[in-house]
Amino acid sequence: MGRVQFLFLRPLSFGEYLEATQNDLIQKYLETVQIENPFDEAVHGKLLSLVREYIALGGMPAVIAEYVRSKNLLECQSLQNAILTAYRNDFGKYAERSSYLVLETVFTKMPGLLGKWLKYTSIDPNLKAEVLREALHKLADAGLLLPVFATSGAGIPLVAHKNEKNVNSFFLMLDS
């Protein structure tokens, strides 16, 4: 009997992105920053530029590697499209036709809903909330979405006080 080992590849964190793009000094500087001490303006400008770059690239390892190699954003966008197409193509392998269409709808709509509290009607007003909730859970289980729940903050652990009705999601993001 052979052994099976599962490896999970997720998008790079911002810190990992800084390492990959040889911005180690800025990463080390960030580790020392304290809230009461403001950023140096030059460092702040550089960080904003790097955050914009990171968001545009999306954190996927192959895309970051291409960017480090070529600095060509069009090539990176081509890779991003290929990754998204591969995810979409996999839906059909693991879902019935009706479920596939819901997964496709949610997957397509979620990037446009970032930073907003999720309302199921904003995904598709014609689909039942339970059907959309199930699709969101499947995408979260696959590591494509990270649900972020509102909490009352009434105690620790926060997850014990989460409000499942107030949720936001991050698309193709790390969960740690």
109 Ramachandran zone, left/alpha/beta (phi>0; psi -120 to 50) = alpha
Quick one: angle between helices 129-141 and 97-109, nearest 10?
80
Res. 148: pLDDT tops 50 = yes
On whether both 68 and 42 belong to a single domain, the answer is yes
Res. 36: pLDDT tops 70 = yes
Q: Please say which residue of 94, 122, 151 terminates a domain.
A: 94
Q: pTM score, two decimals?
A: 0.71
Res. 87: pLDDT tops 80 = yes
We report the CATH number of the domain holding residue 108 as 1.10.10
Structural domain that includes position 130: 96-176
Q: Lowest mean pLDDT: which of 89-93, 121-125, 166-170?
A: 166-170
Res. 127: pLDDT tops 60 = yes
On whether both 14 and 85 belong to a single domain, the answer is yes
φ/ψ of 162, rounded to 5, equals -75, 150
Res. 167: pLDDT tops 70 = no
Q: Is residue 67 part of a domain?
A: yes
> Domain total for the chain?
2
